[in-house]
Structure 1
Amino acid sequence: MSRVASALAAVLMTVASIPFVAPGTAAAVGLDLTCTPPSSASLLFDPPATNSPQTMALSVSRQYGPCVSATRPDITSGHSSATGTSQGATCLSLLGANAITIPITWNTGETSTLSGNNVSSLSGLALTVVTTGTVTSGVFAGATFVHTIIYPSTNILLCNLGLGTLSALYGQVVLEIITP
């Protein structure tokens, strides 16, 4: 057998030994916890966001559930909330990327701290916020996560165009925690 044929045979045997994974399922291999809608989030602005820079108080509340976990079937729901102040914020401040920490208290009383980076984008009449990172403490520590919120609202577009204000956003959440 020639060298080329031997090399080709070795490559084909290596490829044949790789387990087949259907497209779209690779991320689910280590999926440990999933929380899906009606999981929800609310984001409140005081005063309402405008197209002019101002100081605003922000309040976010997230409800997770139903949740399903492969390793922790007792965890079925959770919640998270935070408040803060933003200086010089506008409606356009909702877009872009930043670091974020999400503390979650589960229905068992245990907690998880998710630390990562989010990217917010506007598509049509919906603001999509995707956060990825690592569970840095508590239940699922060391795992990675994907946290997605979709906030549909005509007020987002109007506010960005300077044609209105934005006092609140309400959306649906999907949380996936993937163990190593």
Structure 2
Amino acid sequence: MVRRSLTGAVVALMVAAGVAVSAPAAQAATELLSCVGSGANTYQPGVTAQPKVVSITSSAEYDSCVSTGSPTVTSGGYASAANGLVSCLGGGVSITVTITWNTGETTTVAAVGLVVLRPANEVVVVYQGTVTAGRFTGATVVMTAALLNTTPAQCFTAEGVTGTSGPANITITQLA
């Protein structure tokens, strides 16, 4: 039941993100920034099959960005910590991260994320939020990561899964 609810929530979130990007011309979204890179999470205590509050240390390095405006953002990254109610099957977390760009500027993002385990042992995290300070203030943010769980059997141990890593991206848009 929990898995079904989370799957429905992820689909709803992705549909909502798609609607924002493909809104009618009167409210068309203007892309301010799009980056790809890699991310990693560590979990304390380790994530198991049972939902529990876990401390999540998260980082991302965006090494390939395309942006509008000047100066041009070409890369950036962040490291942050948050708590979330998660299990190996899914969960949710609210985060605030400050991304430092190659230009020396920063962007602070407040976002809510859904976590879901995919069949190939990917921990897919989709965050949706808003830029609350710095460059791009007021813009909408969608951050995604497909973090590979290389030790899926750990879900059924007392230690649990203590880390995941994989590709990550961020898109920052603003209604025109």
Regarding TM over 0.5, the answer is: yes
Letter in 2 for 1:45: Y
Alignment of structure 1 residues 136-175 onto 2, 5 Å: 136-155=132-151, 157-162=152-157, 165-175=160-170
In structure 1, stretches of 5+ residues that fail to align are 1-22
Alignment of structure 1 residues 1-180 onto 2, 5 Å: 26=22, 29-36=29-36, 39-46=37-44, 48-50=46-48, 58-72=56-70, 74-83=72-81, 92=87, 95-124=90-119, 125-155=121-151, 157-162=152-157, 165-180=160-175
Structure 1 CA distance for aligned equivalents of residues 30 and 89 of structure 2: 32
Query: Are the counterparts in 2 of residues 43 and 168 from structure 1 also a CA contact under 8 Å?
Result: yes
Structure 1 CA distance for aligned equivalents of residues 96 and 173 of structure 2: 17
Structure 2 CA distance for aligned equivalents of residues 97 and 58 of structure 1: 11
Which string of whole-angstrom CA distances, capped at 9 and with x for unpartnered residues, describes residues 11-58 of structure 1? xxxxxxxxxxxx9x727841110001xx11111235644457888654
Percent identical across equivalent pairs? 31
In structure 2, stretches of 5+ residues that fail to align are 1-18
Query: Are the counterparts in 2 of residues 131 and 146 from structure 1 also a CA contact under 8 Å?
Result: yes
Larger strand share, 1 or 2: 2
How many matched pairs? 152
Structure 1 CA distance for aligned equivalents of residues 93 and 45 of structure 2: 22
Structure with larger Rg:
1
Structure 2 CA distance for aligned equivalents of residues 42 and 123 of structure 1: 17
Structure 2 CA distance for aligned equivalents of residues 122 and 140 of structure 1: 31
Question: Which residue in the other structure is 2:14 paired with?
Answer: none
Q: Mark the CA change 1:117 to 1:53 in structure 2 (over 3 Å): closer, same or farther.
A: closer
**RMSD over aligned Cα, in angstroms?**
3.2
Structure 1 CA distance for aligned equivalents of residues 71 and 22 of structure 2: 22
Query: Are the counterparts in 2 of residues 158 and 164 from structure 1 also a CA contact under 8 Å?
Result: no
